[in-house]
Amino acid sequence: MAKVLLVDDDTVLRTTVARFLERLGHQVLQVSNGAEGLAALREAGNLDMVVTDLDMPVMDGEEFVHRLRLAGYGQPVAVLSGGGFEDGGPTFRGAMERGATTYLSKPCTLKRIAEVVDHLQHSRHTAYHNGWLTSGAPPVTRRK
């Protein structure tokens, strides 16, 4: 099963998702913002994927994705948000341009989150064994 970094400032949502994924056999490390997420990646190092909220205090999900890619982390990233479309704040499009793998709009079911985690785990495993993850991180597209 996967080692998942779950980044969300909503404690209830984060805990609910973490417990659900843990019941499915995943190991979940929980933090509440992007800055804590970067620190967790540095400390844990061997995480398989990241599931992050988009709209958070301290460091939003868009900036978090950007910084983790600049730091060379290649884990797949699913961005989860109730907003995320051209609303003046961080956006799904911005997160995808900065290196996110996929996104989910809230509200979504726990089953859907589990499907995305399973898909990311499978695609990362396939990419690694086919030699696609040799450099670690995908190319970064910078905003202009």
**Domains defined along the chain, listed by start:** 3-129 (3.40.50.2300)
- Provide the pLDDT for residue 136: 40
**AA letter at 7:** V
Please, how many CA atoms are within 13 Å of residue 142, restricted to the half-sphere of its CB? 3
Give me the pLDDT at residue 125, please: 46
What backbone phi and psi angles, to 5 degrees, belong to 123? Answer: -70, -35
The pTM assigned to this predicted structure is: 0.81
What is the reported pLDDT for 87?
55
- Identify the pLDDT of residue 143: 40
Tokens of 87: 């609303």
Percent with pLDDT over 70 in the chain: 80
Q: Which residues of the chain have pLDDT under 50?
A: 125-144
Instruction: Find the helix or strand (DSSP H, E) in which 80 lies.
Output: strand 77-81
Describe the crossing of helices 34-44 and 61-70 by its angle, rounded to 10 degrees. 30
What pLDDT shows up at residue 83?
65
